[in-house]
Structure 1
Amino acid sequence: MLRNLMVREYFSAIAASFNKDFQQGAYVWQRAWTSSVVAALQQAEASSHVDRWHVLAGEFDHDAQSFSPAQVSFSVLPRLKHPVVMVFRIDGQMRHLDGNMLIDRLTQVRQQWQSHGVHVSALEIDYDCATQQLPVYEHFLRQLRDSLPKDISLNITALPDWRHSSSISSLLHQVSRYTLQVHAVSNPRQGLFDSSLAETWAQEFSHLSSTPFELALPNYGSRILSNTQGKLLAVESEMPILASAQQTQELMAQPAVLTAFLRKLHTDPPAHLQGVVWFRLPVSGDRRTWSYQTWVAVMDDRYHAVPLLPELQSHTNGMLTVVLNNPNDMDVELPRLLVLNHACEVGDGANAYVFNPDKASFSRQQEGLLHGHAQRVIGWIRCATTGMKTYAEN
């Protein structure tokens, strides 16, 4: 107990010293600012955990003919006390960047925001183009940078694969800052976040350019839709997708993994790293993000969760319902395995769990979190033995 307290105090001291220069931003990626989005923004603003807001301003489709502006609230956006970065997403499949047309539209939206009193500190381009497209992208960024007022900096997001391009250094030289995406970039089926890969990419980019950068970190989950041959059909995250698929897989960024990664950044930050940007702002009702309490705890290096408590609820017909309870204020990873102390021949799983009668256990089929003070039914069993007990394994 004393040792755990000393360890937490040690890491808290490191975090406090590093956080003087280490910034934590967040993406507001919701296309429409509902009352839940506004409430989440106001809660985060009051807590002073976020240093900068990266706000989705709109999206260009692959042929650049269609632009979808985000429906932001101009009664709330100008009142945010932290800097606002306008983010424009360009479909990565767009091959021909019509610089004049794109810049005209970006300028129109920027001036609209400014006419409503929004102080725009920077403009960020999110364009996940193929590595071979970087010379074309660099030319567009040079045009865009020259069109911006002197008090607005130009930022971009960057993909790890771009490090293989001979154009990467000159590309990064065009911008004031960039955000390196280290989540869901290699193969979504392998998980949303690999801390060892993220560390490697961050170190490599720190040697490619002296341009300041941040890391985009995940606090969300995704549903992967694929066919029977394993071909990826779609990824559902912040927006529901009306598509059918033969196979689906749920992925979730784990708070404990991100906590450990942040500690490593605090103790040994790569050169030129300025901070992290979280994707995305947790909003009430968004079941694919961490809870707000969990997100803040990870940012503060306070995340600590007691394992989930299995419970067997008996019924008059002899059936037992298997329930997981979360006694914590924070989200907890669903256990990989729930083992019974006796064999039961009859049973069935539910909510991403499968019953294995031969091994007297319930196994998790999909990643996920259980929010604080919530419970989840994962199946039922009927057994001849009384006094059944369970234990969870991660």
Structure 2
Amino acid sequence: MRFYIGLSAVLAIASWLSACERTPAPPLDQQLYIWQRQWTPAHEAALRDSRADFSTVRVLALQAFPQAGWSRARIDPALLRQDGRPLIAVIRLDGQLKSLDLAQATAQILQVLDDWRGQGLTLAGVEIDHDAGSARLPAYAEFLTHLRPALPPSLPLSITALPAWLDSPQLPALLAAVDSSVLQVHAVSDPRRGLFDADQARRWADAWGRVSDKPFYLALPAYGVALLPDSGGAPGVESEVAIPRRGERRELLADPQALSQLASGLRGKRPEHLAGLIWFRLPLANDRRAWSLTTLRAVARDEPLSSRLDVSFAAQDGLYDIGLANRGNLDSPWPARLTVKARDCVGADALAGYTLQQTPDLLTFTRLRDGRLPAGGQRAVGWARCANIDQGGSHVDP
């Protein structure tokens, strides 16, 4: 028995098979915030080493504070020109501002943009970062509607947005005034929950995609903060700028493993209208509360994360410098303890952050305070002058 299939049936089957094939989504764009108020020589290496993995830089340009007024970030225009990536100027309007003077704020923004262009910088957009309460969204939308026609027509305007706005009936009008939004999902709302909740962030991103009909980005944390002692109100939050307040600080750090899992999930099942991820913030070599750039790049590349701590020795004439090296791609807490087999030691001591207990054949270095060893980094732990150190007999306790 023979079966004959007509041309129309063949085409229908081919169309059905094509629809069943999984078309891979384009990769999520990944960008960086540069949030330092004053640039240093460390920015040169950070920009250079981040260029391959992050398409765009969003740079703090101008801030407005309730009492202090307007303040510009001291950028290095030569480094930005050399970097060459698309550049978005970020204007930070403090959420505690009682009101926005439309004319003054617009004039300040236009002036800084004009000055940047005069320094040879080509702008790819402007972002307004204003943590307004939901009740103030109508006034915020009015400001954006006033600002938009004052900007060059070809210059995209975006805003940083808060998950709390999801419940506001004013949100559609606010989003209608801009070309895109950046949903910020990291904040210290409850210290017991840490700096970041990946499951909650995912729910917010899905909800934002249903509300917004324009592209949006997700701002993700690659840093930590310290909670300062309560001084009669909410605890202070210290990040890249030290706050002169005494008392023990409680450190909160965004977990790279949790962020990596979230980013991987967003790539696999993308919320509607999600255009990319923006990491806060570009880490500098001396930024003790940011992930290392090695870890940030590994998360951005969706690479498996691991720390690998080794004890290192540098010997000269019986004097051993003892250190730790992190040969993985994941920043690691200082280990609680490390032991070194040694004999006939005439002197030994621990360096800052550790204390030493010594027996005839063992040196034990015990952690006194918390710290982090960046991926690819190393630090000295102590020294010893001994007749013999068994370099293969060292052990690290996490």
Q: Calculate the TM-score normalised by the size of structure 2.
A: 0.77
* Aligned residue identity for 1:186: S
1:257 and 2:258 correspond: yes
Which whole-Å CA distance do the structure 2 matches of 1:267 and 1:32 have between them?
38
Equivalent residue number for residue 38 of structure 2? 32
* Aligned residue identity for 2:59: V
Equivalent residue number for residue 357 of structure 1? none
Residues 189 and 224, structure 1, Cα contact 8 Å, conserved in 2: no
Equivalent residue number for residue 274 of structure 1? 275
Deviates more, 1:266-275 or 1:369-378: 369-378
Residues 224 and 232, structure 1, Cα contact 8 Å, conserved in 2: no
* Aligned residue identity for 1:37: H
In the TM superposition, what are the counterparts of 1:302-317 in structure 2 within 5 Å? Answer: 302-306=303-307, 308=309
Equivalent residue number for residue 292 of structure 2? 291
Equivalent residue number for residue 242 of structure 2? 240
Which whole-Å CA distance do the structure 2 matches of 1:85 and 1:337 have between them?
43
In the TM superposition, what are the counterparts of 1:1-394 in structure 2 within 5 Å? Answer: 17-18=24-25, 20-45=26-51, 48-63=52-67, 66-227=69-230, 231-241=233-243, 243-306=244-307, 308=309, 325-334=324-333, 351=353, 368=372, 370-375=374-379, 392=397
Q: CA RMSD in A?
A: 3.7
What's the offset of the Cα at 1:257?
1.5
Which whole-Å CA distance do the structure 1 matches of 2:98 and 2:129 have between them?
14
1:281-337 Cα deviation digits (max 9, x unpaired):
1111111111121111111112421454689xxxxxxxxxxx994442423342897
* Aligned residue identity for 2:270: P
What's the offset of the Cα at 1:233?
3.7
Residues 310 and 392, structure 1, Cα contact 8 Å, conserved in 2: no
Which whole-Å CA distance do the structure 1 matches of 2:138 and 2:335 have between them?
46
Which whole-Å CA distance do the structure 2 matches of 1:391 and 1:351 have between them?
15
May I ask how many residue pairs the two structures share in their alignment? 351
Equivalent residue number for residue 3 of structure 2? none
Which whole-Å CA distance do the structure 2 matches of 1:237 and 1:210 have between them?
34
Change beyond 3 A, Cα 1:25–1:374: same
Which whole-Å CA distance do the structure 2 matches of 1:352 and 1:107 have between them?
52
Which whole-Å CA distance do the structure 2 matches of 1:161 and 1:326 have between them?
43
Unaligned 5+ segments in structure 1 are 1-15, 312-322, 341-347, 354-361, 379-387
1:90-109 Cα deviation digits (max 9, x unpaired):
11100211111100010011
Give the match's secondary structure for 2:249. Answer: strand
What's the offset of the Cα at 1:126?
0.6
1:351-379 Cα deviation digits (max 9, x unpaired):
499xxxxxxxx89986855543425759x
- Rg larger in 1 or in 2? 2
Unaligned 5+ segments in structure 2 are 1-22, 313-321, 340-349, 356-365, 383-392
Which whole-Å CA distance do the structure 2 matches of 1:352 and 1:226 have between them?
25
Taking only the aligned residue pairs, the percentage that are identical comes to 33
Residues 217 and 275, structure 2, Cα contact 8 Å, conserved in 1: yes
What's the offset of the Cα at 1:187?
2.7
Give the match's secondary structure for 1:304. Answer: coil
1:215-254 Cα deviation digits (max 9, x unpaired):
111111111102387x53421111222x224341011122
Q: Calculate the TM-score normalised by the size of structure 1.
A: 0.77
Which whole-Å CA distance do the structure 2 matches of 1:145 and 1:27 have between them?
22
Change beyond 3 A, Cα 1:198–1:369: farther
